[in-house]
Amino acid sequence: MSDEPVVRTEVSENGIVTVTWNRPDRKNGLNKAMVDQAIDALEAVWANDACRVVVLTGAGSSFCSGMDLSEPIEPDEMTFMRRVGHLCTLIHDLPLPVITKVRGGAIGYGANLALCGDLVVAGESAVFGEIFAERGLSIDGGGSWLVPRLVGLGRAKEIMLLASRVSGSEAGEMGLVNRCVSDEELDAFVDDWAVRLADGPRRALSVIKKQLNASFERSFADAIEAEAVGQALAFRSKESREGARAFFGKRTPDFRSC
């Protein structure tokens, strides 16, 4: 067996973390080892203040082909699915922006794994396959929560009940993903967003992400109160002071100095 990890993690000098599903021979089909290594990688990112943004992607021609059903589900279905759900929750709750970069197939669990990112950029070769019903399965990977919020309940039912395969361009048009670009432009486009986020105010971006994630569960009054608390703390932060100095000095803020 190869000693190559099934999840690769690279951290650049500017705090961009690239997490790559690394089973290209299986189109990055998910198995227990991949789940365990991905959770370990993201927990390490969470604990590392030098990390500023995460990019999730797949090695080879596919993002993730979903569960690798050629391998046994260990130790049992419920334990495994809760572990898989924990991976999605880590991505959703991570106090850093997460970009998913999707080439080729993002099928079943792989589709919803991609949609867990805060910003989803698809190449024209991308296919988001919500094929659960076709396999006699229910939804996983947070899809029952994510897809209705992205495209509306009616369109979500159409996609899920008819086991649809949505192309990258279709996903961009309906708002399932943030952008669809050509495969040739994909790396450069994601790199640009990653650098912009890495250079941004780390603490403020974390608070913004948390507030937006909670927006559908809060009343307007609760959102206003959460914003008041967040902004009151932000006004006292080094990031806010640097932003003000940069504004009055007519220069680009250096949030890394904070």
The model's pLDDT over 60-86, given as tens digits with 9 standing for 90+, comes to 999 999 999 888 888 999 999 999 999
Q: What is the distance between the alpha carbons of residues 81 and 133, in angstroms, rounded to a whole number?
A: 17
Q: What is the distance between the alpha carbons of residues 164 and 130, in angstroms, rounded to a whole number?
A: 6
Residue 41: band (very low, low, confident or very high) from pLDDT cuts 50, 70, 90: very high
Which of 128 and 75 is assigned the larger pLDDT? 128
Residue 56: band (very low, low, confident or very high) from pLDDT cuts 50, 70, 90: very high
Q: What is the distance between the alpha carbons of residues 87 and 186, in angstroms, rounded to a whole number?
A: 25
**Model confidence, pTM:** 0.96
- Asked whether the predicted pLDDT for residue 2 surpasses 80, the reply is no
pLDDT digits (tens, 9 = 90+) for 144-156: 999 999 999 999 9
7 Rama sector, left if φ>0, alpha if ψ -120 to 50, beta otherwise: beta
All domains of the chain, ordered by start, with CATH?
7-198 (3.90.226.10), 202-257 (1.10.12.10)
By C-alpha distance, which of 86, 13, 16, 21 is closest to 58? 21
By C-alpha distance, which of 194, 193, 208, 210 is closest to 239? 208
Residue 186: band (very low, low, confident or very high) from pLDDT cuts 50, 70, 90: very high
Cis ω before 75 (30° cut-off from 0): yes
- Asked whether the predicted pLDDT for residue 128 surpasses 50, the reply is yes
Residue 161: band (very low, low, confident or very high) from pLDDT cuts 50, 70, 90: very high
User: Mean pLDDT across the stretch 121-139?
Assistant: 97
State the pLDDT at residue 1.
Answer: 47
Q: Which residues fall within 8 angstroms of residue 234, CB to CB, at 6 or more apart?
A: 203, 204, 207, 240
Residue 124: band (very low, low, confident or very high) from pLDDT cuts 50, 70, 90: very high
